[in-house]
Structure formats: C-alpha cells, structure tokens
Amino acid sequence: MADEPGFQLKGSAPERYEEYVAPLMAPFTTALLDAVDLCPGDVVLDLACGTGFAARAAAAQVGPAGRVRGVDVNADMLKVAVAHHPRLYPDIEFTEASADRLPYPDATFDAVVCQQGAQFFPDLTAALTETARVMRPSGRFAATVWADMSLSPYLTAQYEAIKEYGGDEAAADFSTAFACTADRLTDALGKAGCHDVTTREIAFGIALPPLTDFAPGHLSVLPWGQRLADAHGEETLAAAGHSVAARLADRTGPDGRLTLPFTAILATAIR
Ligand SMILES: C[S@@+](CC[C@H](N)C(=O)[O-])C[C@H]1O[C@@H](n2cnc3c(N)ncnc32)[C@H](O)[C@@H]1O
C-alpha cells in the first residue's frame, strides 16, 4: 500500500513520523478528545490512527475499565503505534483495516475519533457510513482535518516549496491534505445517518523547533515529501525543506524558533 497515492508512508518514515508531527498534533488531539467527552469505561475507536496519538490519549481517559481500538491501512504506522503503546492500560489493540471495512460488530463503540485521516479516505461517505455502523446509538464522533491552508502559514510555506521544487503535480498531491471541507464532512455525516452534526474551526499557536532542521525532517515524513525525493532526489527534498524555512524567515526569532498559527476543522456528530 505504501506506493499508493494519498497518505502512505514507507521506509523509515513511520518511525520518524512522531518526532516531527507530535508538536503539530498535540493541542488538536486534546480538542478532538474533549469533543467526544470520554468517561472511564468507554469503548473508543481511533480511526486512521497512524502511530496512535489519539488512541494513547483516549486510553488515559477511559482508564483500565475502558477499551481502545485503532485502525489504519498502513501496517508500518501500526507497528510504531504498538511500540509506543505505554502499556499502562493493557487494552489498546491496533488492527490493519480500511475505514470503509471495519473489523468490528455493529454498535461496538461509545465514541470514534479521527485525527487528520478523513481527507485521505477514497470514499468519505462510505467510510463514515461504515463508522456509523460500528457506533452505538447516541455514540459520539469527532474528526479533525486541516482547514484552508491559508490559515496555517507553515503549511502554506510547505505547499509553495513543494510547488517550487516538484511542480504542479506535486503541489496537487499535497493539496489532498486540504481536500476535506466542512461542507463535505457535514454532507457525508448526514448521509451516514448521524445527527447533531457541527463543524467549526479551531486554531492553536504552535511553537516550532528551528526550521533549518525541522522543515526538511518534517517533509521527509510526509508522503508528498517522499514522492518529491523519489522523483527528484534527496537533495531536492532538502532544498524544499530549506525553502520552507526561508519563506518563514521574517517570522523567525534570532534563536531560529517561531510560533505559528495552525487551523483545523473540528467536526462532531451523534450516531
Ligand atoms: C495524516 S495521517 C494521521 C494519522 C494519525 N491519525 C495522527 O493523528 O497522526 C493519515 C493516516 O490515515 C491513514 N489512512 C489513509 N487512508 C485510510 C483508510 N482508507 N482507512 C484507514 N486509514 C487510512 C494513513 O495510513 C495515515 O496513517
């Protein structure tokens, strides 16, 4: 699956993904879990769990009486998820599966969360209909996807750097990360049979490490960065990373650090 379009990582990227992505995801993971209001004992699914940021946070909230499951199509991301699972609570189980064919009986979950995964589902309505099937009646759903990239200057700089070094095709590839609008989520959740659907933008100022190292490293753990390296070589990937840093130089402090706004759409619904 690693060579398919969409969000598929290969090589050592899944192992390095957390190092670069954790700072960007942390406040959004908190908001995502707040939106489903977990209780001790709840049974929770982290849909498109990747390396398991949301699953681990959910496990801490539902406690030893709860159960957390994570599914993702990428087996290498799941291996990292298993390795990072702290085993404070024994019951997080990660399974390789696609969002539109979930390996769970009907009405299994009290809550489902999906962090930055919905934009990569080939058929969003089919995936959310399948998700609704595995939710209990009155179960809570929450998902985040990036909002328009103009609201996240770091992501805009990444887009421009990828376009500069990879051309229109690479830029279009990157744009898939922003393809899921609030309207598309609302429509698909309605068709999936959910009710009380809400969407809103959530924004956080995120402190980034010095971009000279961070920006090339972060690009190397993203599929469009990997595809840029495959097509044009590692030097081009590094140059694109340095271009991200240069584009944000006027926002960067003397120590190389900077804090930038990132904006996501948070969608919630009830089964
Ligand atoms: C940007 S990553 C987000 C991962 C994780 N939720 C996080 O917070 O870091 C997108 C994830 O969606 C997964 N994915 C893409 N299409 C999928 C599908 N149809 N079903 C399940 N997972 C999918 C990818 O393998 C990848 O791990």
Say yes or no to pLDDT of 25 above 80.
Answer: yes
Query: How many angstroms is it from 50 CA to the middle of ligand 1?
Result: 5
Judge if the beta carbon of residue 115 lies within 6 A of ligand 1: yes
Mean pLDDT, the chain, whole residue set: 92
Ligand 1 binding pocket includes 128 (Cβ within 6 Å): no
9 lines ligand 1 (CB under 6 A): no
Q: Is the CB of 74 under 6 A from ligand 1?
A: yes
Residue of minimum CA distance from atom 15 in ligand 1? 120
**pLDDT for the residue numbered 224:** 87
> Ligand 1 center to residue 252 CA distance, Å?
31
Q: What is the mean pLDDT of residues 211-230?
A: 90
Give the whole-angstrom CA distance, residue 72 versus residue 96: 5
Residue 173 clears pLDDT 60, i.e. is over it: yes
* Ligand 1 center from residue 17 Cα (angstroms): 12
Angle (CA) 149 152 158, round 5°: 70
Atom of ligand 1 nearest to the CA of 49: 6
Enumerate the β-bridge partners of residue 144: 115, 266
What is the residue with the minimal CA distance to atom 4 of ligand 1?
A: 50
**With bands split at pLDDT 50, 70 and 90, how would you rate the model's confidence at 6?**
low
Measure the CA–CA gap between 57 and 71, rounded to whole angstroms.
15
Give this prediction's pTM.
0.94
Show me where the domains of the chain are located.
Answer: 13-270
Nearest atom in ligand 1 to 21's CA: 9
CB 55 within 8 A of CB 33: no
Going by pLDDT thresholds of 50, 70 and 90, the confidence category of residue 89 is low
Is 13-270 a domain of CATH 1.10.287.130? no
CB–CB of 126/187 below 8 Å?
A: no
CA–CA distance, 216 with 57 (Å, rounded to integer): 28
Percent of the chain with pLDDT over 70: 96
pLDDT at 46: 98
Mean pLDDT value of segment 23-37:
96
Does residue 154 contact residue 244 with C-beta atoms inside 8 Å? Answer: yes
pLDDT for 1: 35
Q: DSSP secondary structure string, 125-188?
A: HHHHHHHHHTEEEEEEEEEEEE--GGG-HHHHHHHHHHHHHHHHHHHHHHHGGG---HHHHHHH
Q: What percent of the chain has pLDDT over 90?
A: 76
